[in-house]
Amino acid sequence: MKKFTVEDLFIMYRQYKNKYKEKAYKYISQVLKDAKPLHKKAFKGKDHEQSWRAFKGKNLEKLIIHIIENEVKNLDLKIIDGNKLERTKETNLSKELSNVKRNLLIDYGEFGYHLPDVDIIIYEPRTFKVLAVLSSKVTLRERIAQSGYWKLKLSSQKLTKHIKVYFITPDEDGTLITKNPAKKGRAIVEIDLDGSYILSETEIEKSTKVKTFDKFIHDLKGLINLKNNNHI
């Protein structure tokens, strides 16, 4: 059997999209659950669980890009995998992406310039300005505190202080469900991040910072309008 790839994951998601339309995002965890036995069937090796966890983590961000890419483009923005900037040598980047990278770098003084660890980058191709960065993980405990740190660092620099930091997750461990009492991950989102968008069927206690994923593009439009009004 041929190797199970992210393209197979896209096909599975589109089947849910055909059935559930704009609510398909709620079934991301189910798509991943359905994909696991197919991935296992095509797997050759000893430790499938480890292989599956790596596949699931790496391709969640690609699935999110797949879901929103066209809508982002319709806003005259571009969306890319954060690894494209991190792992590609400067000399191999296009002029456009080289400029985007420079607009995202964090200055560590004598220790050089470094990119924040983010999964997805949304930017304006005309100006190369980064509008927002997204982290996407199956559960919050994997990287929520890191996202708070990167928000702090980006906010400390004039060139990057406008960049929004969001967390997108199926929240499979239920960290974001309740606002009060809040778990640690929810508290970090509410205080330290610009927001989190949930890919889940589970009812959540919403706030201005914690919303369902279908609100993301609407909020991105609002961010563009705010930027234009303030001439950022």
pLDDT tens for each residue of 27-67: 999 999 999 999 999 888 888 999 999 999 889 999 999 99
Residue 232 pLDDT more than 60? no
- pLDDT for res 64: 95
pTM equals 0.92
Domain boundaries, the chain: 72-230
Query: What is the mean pLDDT of the segment spanning 97-104?
Result: 96
Angle at 129 between CA 131 and CA 69, to 5 degrees: 55
Residue 179 makes CB contacts below 8 A (sequence gap 6+) with 186, 190, 205, 207, 210
- Answer yes or no: is pLDDT of 142 > 90: no
- pLDDT for the residue 91: 85
Give me the pLDDT at residue 2, please. Answer: 82
What's residue 231's pLDDT?
58
CATH 3.40.1350 at 72-230, yes or no: yes
Structural tokens at position 45: 């090796």
Mean pLDDT of the residues in the chain: 92
